[in-house]
Amino acid sequence: MRMIRYLLRLAAVVGLLAASAPSGADERLNLLKNVSRAGAPALTLKMLDQAQPSLDADLYGWILWEQERLAILSRWRQWDDLLVRVEAMPVDIPQQFRQQTASFQARAYLELDQTGAAREVLREQMWRRGADQSSQYQLWRRMVIESYLRDGRIDDARIAMLRFDQDFASQDIDWLLLRARVLIESGRDEQALQVLDGQDGWQASLVRLYAQHRLGRVDRTELWRRVEKAAETPDLAAENLASLWGLGYLAAREMSPVDRVVALESLLRSGAESPLELFRQPPDRLWQAYLEYAELVGNRAELLLGDDAAWLQLARQASKVTPVKARSLFAMLMLNAGDGEIGNAAADGYLATFAEIDRAEHNLLDGLFNRSGTFPSAGDIPPIIRYQLVDLALASGEIDEATRLMSGLTTPPEGSNRFDWQLRQSRVLILGGRYDEGDAVLRALLEGYGEASVEATDRILQVLFDLQSVGLHESAIAHLNRLLQLEIDPRQRREILFWIADSFRAEELYDQAALLYLQSAMLPGAQSMDPWAQTARFNAAESLQLAGLIDDARRVYEDLLRVTEEAARRSVLRNKIQQLWLTQGQQ
């Protein structure tokens, strides 16, 4: 409820800004850029939809906002959404912006490993007359080189790199890093060192260290030591940490399985992806490292494959002493146990290896279960892990993610109260836009809600407010009426009558709304004029006016005027009464 109301308030703010002078356009756009950088891209995109001028009314303004939309989708790696947006672009947009959108489109295809489609987009642009005069031209040629590297076409990448060097004398660091990567992957490590000579940036230093390792000048033990030491650098940027542990994994490939697990867990804990393809590692690689380490540990303990109970016992024994070993054994059982109960116990044990699940562990779990091919859908994730991921998503305000994970979970987690679980499930589904699912869960909860308590009823009402906020008034009315059939607190009965009236009013059933507002006002007594009753009577008068019952509306306003002492409120009531006289006079 609070999130939806926040969205509505922010929408109103953006609407007010949009109505201001054109000179405020940059300020509005900067506001939304900051919201995106603060970690709320979905909210930013919703606000963009409301504030972006139409293409016909303001082409230049529309392009400025659209550029930011594409940048947000790219920054947050929402590649499918980006492609849909680009492919829906009008055909007659200015050529310069068309070229920019082509760059975004090609990048999306590259990141989705659709290298052929990326090259098709790039070639279409590069073969146009005057393409070499475009500000995007060098970027297009670099992306062609990237596409060859992704396809393992090292010779083609090297030839394209040499041609680029012949045509441009670029010293741009991004180009130098890409050039060094091509040289490393083609076995020319010494040349890679020469390319990066004098470059002191973090990423360049790591690439140079990797080339030195490949040349035998830094052995694997020394490389690992440097990685561990650098990881202790205070306030290290997440992407730098990802590159660092990506390099650590390359060293650990020549070391023990436990080192590979440590490197890959640390990489995923960063919550970022290295800006350099050279150091990126997919989350599934950690699952493979877990299996390799578990097999080594099992062999040492002389355990037989298939004896899942013995493997589970060994994992539990290792849990507090050597968590990395325990996680590897639990991971092996999660993937391979023949008994579902043991698989679930392994998932529980895996979570128990963490002293606490902080932001870093959240990143690790997210990578392993949400971004790996090992678990292609939410339904494949062990339930206890899903419950944990739901809680983490909710704590981070990631409603869409929580909804995806929550959908289909029909039983509460072990040790949880069914009422609490159903209430949370319903609210997440409703906030996530799965209204029918959320409404069905809420209906089931209310069918089993026989003995009402003040606290529990208040919590149910919060979810019913969510239903009203998304416009599901018919369902809200039915559920609120269900509560009225119970023995509930008189205060709550009064409030429920008011909320039902709100829904009737939203459905334009004004006479029924007025009746319920008046019932709410008079519940303590027919003459009640406490603050709640005054608010309810005021709403009743407005509803009576909308229903065309002008005399009734005027009498309710006049009753309020007799008891109201505050000058501002009396002025409002007099104005309302005057408007009604004018309305009657015109009839």
| DSSP one-letter string for 497-543 | HHHHHHHHHHTT-HHHHHHHHHHHHHSS-TT--SHHHHHHHHHHHHH
Residue with tokens 């997210």: 366
Backbone phi and psi for residue 256, each to the nearest 5 degrees, phi listed first:
-85, 160
Amino acid sitting at position 407: S
For residue 582, give every residue at least 6 positions away whose Cβ sits within 8 Å of its Cβ, in sequence order, or none. none
How is residue 507 written in tokens? 């459905």
pLDDT of residue 76: 84
Burial label for 104, CB within 10 Å (0-12, 13-18, 19+), is buried
The pLDDT value recorded for residue 415 is: 66
- What's the confidence (pLDDT) of residue 505? 92
pLDDT tens string 191-230: 999 999 999 889 999 999 999 999 999 999 999 999 999 9
The answer to whether 16 touches 28, Cβ cutoff 8 Å, is no
DSSP state at residue 413: P
Contact 301, 386 (CB under 8 A): no
In the numeric block, the tokens 């109505």 are attached to: 19
Distance CA 420, CA 337 (A): 31
Return the CATH fold of 489-587: 1.25.40
Region for 389 from its dihedrals, namely left if φ exceeds 0, alpha if ψ lies in -120 to 50, beta otherwise: alpha
User: Residue 317 to residues 61, 89, 320, 339, 349: CA-CA distances in angstroms?
Assistant: 63, 59, 7, 20, 11
Q: Is 308 helix (H, G, I), strand (E, B) or coil?
A: helix
The confidence score (pLDDT) of residue 26 equals: 66
| The pLDDT value given to residue 410 | 73
Q: Which pTM does this prediction carry?
A: 0.75
CB 348 within 8 A of CB 319: no
Residue 423 φ then ψ, to 5°: -65, -45
318-323: long-range contacts at Cβ-Cβ below 8 A with a sequence spacing of 24 or more?
319/349, 319/352, 319/353, 323/353, 323/354
| CA distance to 57, 97, 105, 448, per residue, from 90 (Å) | 14, 11, 15, 53
Low-confidence ranges of the chain (pLDDT < 50): 1-23
Convert 455-491 into a string of H (helix), E (strand) and C (coil): HHHHHHHHHHHHHHHCCCHHHHHHHHHHHHCCCCCHH
Pairs from 430-437 (Cβ < 8 Å, separation ≥ 24) = 430/463, 430/466, 430/467, 430/470, 430/472, 431/3, 431/4, 431/399, 431/403, 431/466, 432/399, 432/400, 432/402, 432/403, 432/404, 432/406, 433/400, 433/403, 434/403, 434/407, 435/467, 435/470, 435/472, 437/407
CB of 267 closer than 8 Å to CB of 206:
no
